[in-house]
Amino acid sequence: MIKITQYQAVDRSALMPMIKAFRKELALLKNRALELSDEDAAQELADFLRAGFKLQLAFYNNACAGFLAMHTMDEVWWVDTLFVKPEFRRKGIAKALIEKAEQELAEAGPDSLFFWVHPNNAPMLSFLKSCGYDVLNLVEVRKAWKNEKFSRAYHFDEQSLNY
């Protein structure tokens, strides 16, 4: 059984390892190793709370299985982080977290959630498409970091950008 709850301070010890695991997985998408310290994870949680993010936790048979962090900016609702522990994936948990976010969105008035997703995150892009999210919204562009190596290029009309 899946249960979605609003984050409370008592959930801190369950959320911290998931923040660390999420950041580690995100770094791997760019072929980088990252081990977030407990202090870094605590700082990220504090930043979420200070910025007014809504944090939802998912429990599967009473075990903390995942979380979603979202915020509003100029009346647009952004899902910044959606994470489910690997051992709980493909059980409907991410979908339940999105449905809860969509329910809150519907009560507030806007008609669409926006997601931050790494372009290398094919499983997440596929999952979001299966949930009806298939409109590309923004492309973020920056200069290369010193000694950065790219794993692929993306093409938009006649433009080719490294990633």
Question: What is d(CA 94, CA 92) in angstroms, rounded to the nearest whole number?
Answer: 6
| Helix or strand holding residue 118 (H, E) | none
**What value does the mean pLDDT of the chain take?**
92
Write b or e for each residue in 88-113: b if 16 or more Cβ atoms lie within 10 A of its Cβ, otherwise e. Answer: beebebbebbbebbbeebeeeeeeeb
pLDDT band at 10 (very low <50, low <70, confident <90, very high): very high
Domain of residue 61, residue span: 2-162
Answer whether residue 66 shows pLDDT above 90: yes
Virtual torsion, Cα 76, 81, 87, 91, nearest 10 deg: 0
pLDDT at 158: 83
Domain containing 137 — which CATH number? 3.40.630.30
Euclidean distance between CA atoms 39 and 19, whole angstroms:
11
Kindly report, residue by residue over 105-129, the tens digit of the pLDDT. 998 887 789 998 888 888 999 999 9
In this prediction, residue 82 has a pLDDT band, given cuts at 50, 70 and 90, of very high
Q: How confident is the model at residue 148 (pLDDT cuts 50, 70, 90)?
A: confident
**How many domains are there within the chain?**
1
